[in-house]
Structure 1
Amino acid sequence: MGAEREFTHTTTLPAEQTYDAVRRVVADLGYALQGEDRAQGRLVAQTPRSALSWGHLLFLAVEPAADAGSTLRLTVTGVTDAPRALMDGRKNDKPVAASSRPSRPPCPERPRRRGPATASGRMAGMTRISELWRYPLKSAAGHAVPTLGVDPWGLAGDRRWAVLDPADDDGLVVTAREEHRLLLVRPEPTATGLRLHAPGRAPLEVTTPTAGVGLRPVRVWRSRIVAADAGDEAAAWLGAALGRTVRLVHLDDPMRRATNPAYSEETDRVSLADGYPILLTTTASLAALNDAVLEGAGPDGAPESWPLPMTRFRPNVVVDHGAEGAPWVEDDWRRVRLGTHTFRVVKGCERCVMTTLQPDHERGVVDRGPEPIRTMARIRRFDGGTWFGVNLIPDPLPAGAPPVALAVGDDVEVLAAVPAGGGPPR
């Protein structure tokens, strides 16, 4: 390790972003928040493999920027033993003079409820949900939520809408794999449907179509179903945003689509997601991947996009093991309890070109690079594919049971696992 030195990192955020939004920004950088003092406007974070901290304690202050009312300043201070060339090369990072060394109060421990050892050998309550994400429109932008209901076919409202190619007789769904600009479309759920946003275009209100009316054929991979067309105005708006002729559809009956029977049960269902109801990832695995990206970067140093944010992998549930968490343990899980409900871990997630795409809504462009596929091909290759995250299917609720919801902070307990080392279920 190199000699420790101090650093600061400052960025600006929209003022309307609350502490929860700041939490998401911090999580995207790979940090785990350990505590906060809202009265002092300070959050405390720590990570074993952070791009900035290199395993050391960080302190974050949120304050009004010069143009108070429009932006906030998020300032990160801490100590790192990362190479000076790496730290000095990061945007907005600068060394702190020794005379201005910030005081570092002890990091408050997050309270944890310990329980009996699980099948994975962990203690129940040591692992928690750190983020929940919903993607109302398939392949478009997602948004983080503090809590969300669980349906048999996925999280409530997740991927019930999709864009399709009307020239295809089967109604092939258009995804960001081939139409990168879809990632710039931001769907906002409303009481009556969706509000669509895209750079350079006025928002459009879309009403959820009447169930069973105006049904069109839809094809998602090998699944062939029907869904309700959302009308000409929505089609024209999206066509202008994407530069091609498309239609917008809503899956009015999510019980129509079955999951892959090779990895699931006959009664399992899924929305318009690629294959399974819920995708789970872990912060420890992202940190390990970012470490591997840096290790393989060579003399040119880390790529501009480093550290890779979790949003590249479009998860529904992000799990944080805490400082002691090991990467890739989710490969071995076969049944888990999230909050109060149980889920089967049925298959890993084989990754594609979408993980290499980074939308920039301010510039209205989607940037692309070789990572993380290049690094995952080196450290996460199984059966010719690259893998990150695992797919879950919720267990059926007993008759008469109340609806189930997940929330950020819910405990995660591993109920069944296989011996480590075999890679993801596939």
Structure 2
Amino acid sequence: MSYRGSYTSAAITTAGLAGGAYIAYHLYKEFQKPKLPEQWTQAGTLKNMYAYPIKSCGPVVMNKAECSILGLKSGWLRDRVLMVVDDKMNFITARAYPELLLVHPSVNGSVLTLNHCDLESLSVNLAEVVALQAPKTATVWTVPVPVYDCGWEAAEWFSRLLNRSTTSFRLVYYASQNSRGLRSSTNKIYKFTKNDTGALPDEVPFNLINEASVDELNSRLEDKVTHRNFRPNFVLDGASLKAFDEDNWKFVKIGDNIFEIIKPCTRCILTTIDPETGVRHTKAEPLETLKSYRQIENPEVRKSAGNSPRMGIQMALRSGPGGFVSLNDPVYFA
């Protein structure tokens, strides 16, 4: 065989190997995707829906929303795409600063307005922030995330609120259309994908609470709580629902949107802060009661969760983005 013929044969072989590797890789990726259910059982209806534009701040009530890989959205109103950071660009939450819960944001067009009973309202045009600012780096659970700084007025507003200074804290806006990176410990037990962490939530972009589970918990409490203590995106209600039915589900369907349940939602001290007043419960309720009967039983998972009890489910989008959910939509499980 001539040199030219040998070269051509080798090139074809190499191309064939490369093509085979490409096909094998995509077959592997397809295999990795969860098989979506074909049979569904109705659990109830969507009773309430919330987005939390600023991490740890108050909710915005939604009647209809679009589902994206980063969470619920309606135009510039998006779930947990803003957060408050300290002077080292580390995120802060209402666990340490309960006053954040009493900040009530609203979004009109691209304008975010901050409201608090003790401060004058402040508006920030997010479109201008994106157009005029260069991304910086902040951290969420040690993971670096790209953010835009929302300016000195917002920084002063939050600093006055939280420690009466003028420069201790800043408001930042998530500067990516992709989910943030996984922290090193995330994928040890649960099967997170690179699209499952959302923008700035603690773990995943969608959280669902069963109202029957909240009612059952309240039957054990002197001081009653509401689903607002658990900061859900979706609140499920249904006459046939029993408390903690959701523990055994693998998928949830709302409208045409399909979500995979990644993990139970393990709860922290944030649940013990009254979302209406910002005051901590003196006996750390409802967390202490939840700890008495809602511990994770799997010993391997327990090593990761510790004594954090479960309440609600954490979900990621498995159908294509762009679908809509509306109040009173039927909610199905599989």
Identify the residue that residue 44 of structure 1 maps to in structure 2: none
Equivalent residue for 1:380, pick from 291, 294, 299 = 294
Structure 2 residues without counterparts, runs of 5 or longer: 1-37, 297-301
The structural deviation recorded for 1:211 is 5.4
Equivalent residue for 1:258, pick from 181, 192, 195 = 181
Q: Counterpart amino acid of 2:82?
A: W
Relative contact order: is structure 1 or structure 2 higher (C-alpha 8 Å, sep ≥ 6)?
2
| Contact 2:255/2:330, CA 8 A, preserved across alignment | yes
Distance in 2 (CA, whole Å) between partners of 1:141 and 1:404 is 25
1:26-425 correspondence to structure 2 within 5 Å: 124-156=41-73, 157-166=78-87, 168=88, 171-208=89-126, 209-210=129-130, 213-243=133-163, 245-259=168-182, 260-261=186-187, 262-293=190-221, 302=222, 306-322=223-239, 324-360=240-276, 366-369=279-282, 370-382=284-296, 383=302, 384-397=307-320, 403-415=322-334
The structural deviation recorded for 1:372 is 0.5
Q: Counterpart amino acid of 2:98?
A: H
Deviations 1:219-247 (A, max 9, x none): 11132112000001110011111115101
The structural deviation recorded for 1:118 is 5.2
Deviations 1:33-59 (A, max 9, x none): xxxxxxxxxxxxxxxxxxxxxxxxxxx
The residue matched to 2:181 in structure 1 has which SS? coil
| Contact 2:178/2:195, CA 8 A, preserved across alignment | no
The structural deviation recorded for 1:212 is 8.1
Provide the TM-score with structure 1 as the length reference.
0.61
RMSD of equivalent CA atoms = 2.0
Distance in 1 (CA, whole Å) between partners of 2:220 and 2:203 is 28
Identify the structure with the greater strand proportion.
1
Q: Counterpart amino acid of 2:192?
A: S
Distance in 2 (CA, whole Å) between partners of 1:145 and 1:256 is 22
Distance in 2 (CA, whole Å) between partners of 1:254 and 1:150 is 13
The structural deviation recorded for 1:307 is 2.1
Task: Pick closer, same or farther for the CA change 1:199–1:267 going to 2, 3 Å.
Answer: closer
Distance in 2 (CA, whole Å) between partners of 1:256 and 1:195 is 25
Q: What fraction of aligned residue pairs are identical, expressed as a percent? A: 26
Task: Pick closer, same or farther for the CA change 1:266–1:138 going to 2, 3 Å.
Answer: closer
Aligned residues, how many?
Answer: 273
The residue matched to 1:325 in structure 2 has which SS? coil
| Contact 1:136/1:160, CA 8 A, preserved across alignment | yes
Distance in 1 (CA, whole Å) between partners of 2:69 and 2:217 is 31
Deviations 1:294-339 (A, max 9, x none): xxxxxxxx2xxx32111000000011122x3111111111112111
| Contact 1:290/1:308, CA 8 A, preserved across alignment | yes
Deviations 1:59-105 (A, max 9, x none): xxxxxxxxxxxxxxxxxxxxxxxxxxxxxxxxxxxxxxxxxxxxxxx
Structure 1 residues without counterparts, runs of 5 or longer: 1-116, 294-301, 416-426
Distance in 2 (CA, whole Å) between partners of 1:313 and 1:359 is 9
